[in-house]
Amino acid sequence: MIPLFTAQPSGKNMEDANSSNPQSIGFTEKLKSWLSWSWTYICAVWFAMVLTMIYVLRSPLKLQDTLTSASVFLNTLTPKFYVALTGTSSLISGLILIFEWWYFRKYGTSFIEQVSVSHLRPLLGGVESSTTTGLFSSVNGEAEPRPSVSECKVWRNPLNLFRGAEYSRYTWVTGKEPLTYYDMNLSAQDHQTFFTGDTQQLKPEDTVMQKAWRERNPQARIRAAYQAIEMNHECAAAYVLLAEEEATTITEAERLFKQALRSAGKDINLLVYIKRRLAMCARKLGRIKEAVKMMRDLMKEFPLLGMLNIHENLLEALLELQAYADVQAVLAKYDDISLPKSATICYTSALLKARAVSEKFSPEAASRRGLSTAEMNAVEAIHRAVEFNPHVPKYLLEMKSLILPPEHILKRGDSEAVAYAFFHLQHWKRAEGALNLLHCTWEGTFRIIPYPLEKGHLFYPYPGCTETADRELLPSFHEVSVYPKKELPFFILFTAGLCSFTAMLAMLTHQFPELMGVFAKAFFSTLFAPLGFFADKMESFMPSSFWHQLTRI
C-alpha cells in the first residue's frame, strides 16, 4: 500500500540538503564562468592560428602578387574616385545620423543599439543582465526588489476638460488633435466601468451605450446616444455622453448634465460623476462659491471615494477664491504620509509657504543675511515638490509651452505637469514673488537627490516608466519632457563624427588632390610600417622558400 503521508526529513538532513544545494549551484556557476572565460581565449588562439597559416602559405597563395596588383590598381585611380568615395560615405553616414536622431527624439533610445541588444546579442551568446544587486541591497547583502510604486499607474485627470466644448474647439482652430487614441481608449474603458458595471442585468439602452463608449468615431457615439434615448428617455448615461461630446458650450453641457442627474436614480457611479461635472461647469462659468459647496457636499456624501481625487478640484476652486486658510485645511487632511501624493498636493503646499515670504524675498539679501525660518520652510517645500515632479517648474516659469491637458495623467510624469500647470499657473502668478522664488530655488533640488537615481530623498526613486507612458498620453506635436536628461547615444555621436570627417576628406580631396594623395601615401606607409617590420622578421626566421620547398614535398 502506498502511504498517504511520507516521513519528513530531520532538521539535520534538511540543513544538509539546503547546504549542499548552494554548493552544487556554485559549482555550476563556476563551470559556466570558466567555459565562457576559456571560450574567449580559444577564439583568440584560433584567430592567431588563422593569421599564422595565411602568412605561412603566402607564397602558394600568391598573396604578395595579389597585394602588388591591388596597389597598382589603387595607384591608377584618379582623385575624382576618392572624392566620390568619401562623398558617398559622408552622405550615407549623414542619412544614418538623421534617422538615429529622429528615432532617439521619438523613442528615447538608439535604433542601432536597440537592434544590437535585442537581436544580435543573443545570437552572439550574450545574456542581458537583469540583476539589481548593488542598487537595492539589504543589510545582509541580498538583493531586494525595487518597491512597487503607485506613481507608475495611469490615473484619471480630475480636472479633465470637456471634449465637445473645449477639446473640439481646439481642433477646429488649430487642426490638431489634442487627445491621443490611447488616452481616449482609457476614457472609454472608464465610462464602461462607471456606467455599465453589472453586465448581467443590462437593459437594451445600456447595451447600446456599452457599444457607444467603444466607438472610435465621435459621430457614431453621438448617434448611439440618441438611439439609447429613443429606447428610454430616462437613460442618464446617454445624456452624459451628449454633454461630454456634443455640447459645444459649457452652458449646454451643464443643461445636459442636469437632465442626466434627474434620470440617474440611485446609481452611485452616475451620481458622483454627474455631480462632479456639474461642479466643474459651475467653476468654469464663474459660479465658484457654488462649485465649492457642491464639491464639499459631494465629499461628505461619498467619503469613501477619495481615489477620485475630488479634493484636487476643491483645491483649485479655493485658490481661485483666494481662500488660503481653507486651502491649508484641505492640505492638512490630504497631505498625509500614508496617502498617495500628487503634483497638486505638493505644489499647492509649496505655493502657500512661498506666498508667505515671496513678496519681500530678494536673492541678494538672502545671500548676505541667510534664509529666515519661513524662507527655509518655503525653499524646502519647493524642493519637495520638484523632487516629486521635476517637470512642473519649466511650465510654471513659461520655459516650455503649455498644451491642453490629457484626460489621463501619470503621476510624477510630464502629463501630470501639463495638467497641473494648465490650471494652476494663474494662481502662482497671482501670488506676488512666488514665481521669482521658484525660479531662484527649484534647480537646487537636483543637488539633494542622490545620483544615480537609485535612491530618493523624500519619495521613492523617480520611476523609469514615465517617458514611455507620457509619449502615449500626450499628442505627438508636444515635446515630452524627460527626467533625468538622457545623454546622446554613442552611435549618434559616432555617425556625426564619421559624417563630418568623411565630408571634410571629400572637400579637401576635391580642392587639393595632389597634396591629399601625398598625405594618404604617407599616412598608409606609416600605418603599415609595423606590419612590414613584423613581416621582415618573420621572413628572416621562416623564409618563404623554405615553406615553398615543404609544400612541394
Is the CB of residue 414 less than 8 Å from the CB of residue 480?
Answer: yes
The per-residue pLDDT for 279 is 95
Instruction: Give me the mean pLDDT over the 176-189 stretch.
Output: 91
Query: What confidence tier does 50 reach under pLDDT thresholds 50, 70, 90?
Result: confident
Report the predicted TM-score, pTM, of the whole model to 2 decimal places: 0.65
Query: What confidence tier does 360 reach under pLDDT thresholds 50, 70, 90?
Result: confident
Paired sense of beta strands 408-410 and 154-156, if any = antiparallel
Report the alpha-carbon distance of residue 326 to residue 311 in Å, rounded.
12
- Cα torsion at 12, 18, 19, 21 (round to 10°)? 140
Instruction: Give me the mean pLDDT over the 531-535 stretch.
Output: 69
The per-residue pLDDT for 141 is 36
Facing residues of 143 across strands?
A: 137
315 CB-contact burial (10 Å; exposed 0-12 / middle 13-18 / buried 19+):
buried
Report the alpha-carbon distance of residue 80 to residue 389 in Å, rounded.
57
Question: What letter represents residue 366's amino acid?
Answer: A
Span 249-268, pLDDT tens digits: 999 999 999 999 998 888 88
The per-residue pLDDT for 157 is 93
The per-residue pLDDT for 40 is 62
Is the CB of residue 379 less than 8 Å from the CB of residue 441?
Answer: yes
Indicate whether 38 pLDDT > 60: yes
The per-residue pLDDT for 13 is 43
Instruction: Give me the mean pLDDT over the 501-509 stretch.
Output: 81
Q: In terms of Cα–Cα distance, which of 441, 436, 339, 433 is closest to 385?
A: 441
The per-residue pLDDT for 475 is 93
Domain boundaries, given as residue ranges, for the chain? 334-505
Instruction: Give me the mean pLDDT over the 166-187 stretch.
Output: 92
The per-residue pLDDT for 12 is 40
End-to-end CA distance of the chain: give it in Å, rounded.
79
Lowest mean pLDDT among 134-143, 201-210, 491-500: 134-143
3 state DSSP class of 410: strand
Instruction: Give me the mean pLDDT over the 302-328 stretch.
Output: 89
Report the alpha-carbon distance of residue 542 to residue 531 in Å, rounded.
16
The per-residue pLDDT for 33 is 67
Question: What letter represents residue 408's amino acid?
Answer: H
Instruction: Give me the mean pLDDT over the 506-512 stretch.
Output: 81
Residue with cell 479634493: 311
Q: In terms of Cα–Cα distance, which of 158, 152, 151, 106 is closest to 405?
A: 158
Please tell me what DSSP assigns to residue 120.
I
Q: Which residues contact 182 (CB under 8 A, 6 or more apart)?
A: 472, 473
Is the CB of residue 242 less than 8 Å from the CB of residue 225?
Answer: yes
Report the alpha-carbon distance of residue 317 to residue 230 in Å, rounded.
37
Query: What confidence tier does 220 reach under pLDDT thresholds 50, 70, 90?
Result: very high
Instruction: Give me the mean pLDDT over the 515-536 stretch.
Output: 73
Give the residue, 70 or 325, on which the prediction is more confident. Answer: 325
Is the CB of residue 381 less than 8 Å from the CB of residue 399?
Answer: no
Indicate whether 93 pLDDT > 90: no
Span 537-546, pLDDT tens digits: 666 666 655 5
Report the alpha-carbon distance of residue 522 to residue 534 in Å, rounded.
19
Which of 151-160, 277-286, 446-455 is predicted most confidently?
277-286
Span 265-290, pLDDT tens digits: 888 888 999 999 999 999 999 999 99
Is the CB of residue 355 less than 8 Å from the CB of residue 429?
Answer: no
Does the CA dihedral 40-41-46-50 come out positive or negative?
A: positive
Number of neighbours of residue 323 by Cβ within 10 angstroms: 16
Which of 96-110, 220-234, 514-528 is predicted most confidently?
220-234
Lowest mean pLDDT among 52-56, 163-167, 329-333, 480-484: 52-56
In whole numbers, what is the pLDDT of the chain averaged over residues? 77
The per-residue pLDDT for 71 is 67
Facing residues of 410 across strands?
A: 154
Please tell me what DSSP assigns to residue 137.
B
Query: What confidence tier does 10 reach under pLDDT thresholds 50, 70, 90?
Result: very low
C-alpha cell of 14? 534538511
The per-residue pLDDT for 259 is 94
The per-residue pLDDT for 538 is 65
Query: What confidence tier does 111 reach under pLDDT thresholds 50, 70, 90?
Result: confident
Report the alpha-carbon distance of residue 416 to residue 470 in Å, rounded.
9
DSSP string of 300-326, one letter each residue: HH-TT-GGG-HHHHHHHHHHHHT-HHH
Instruction: Give me the mean pLDDT over the 23-29 stretch.
Output: 58
Which of 2-16, 79-93, 268-282 is predicted most confidently?
268-282
Indicate whether 526 pLDDT > 70: yes
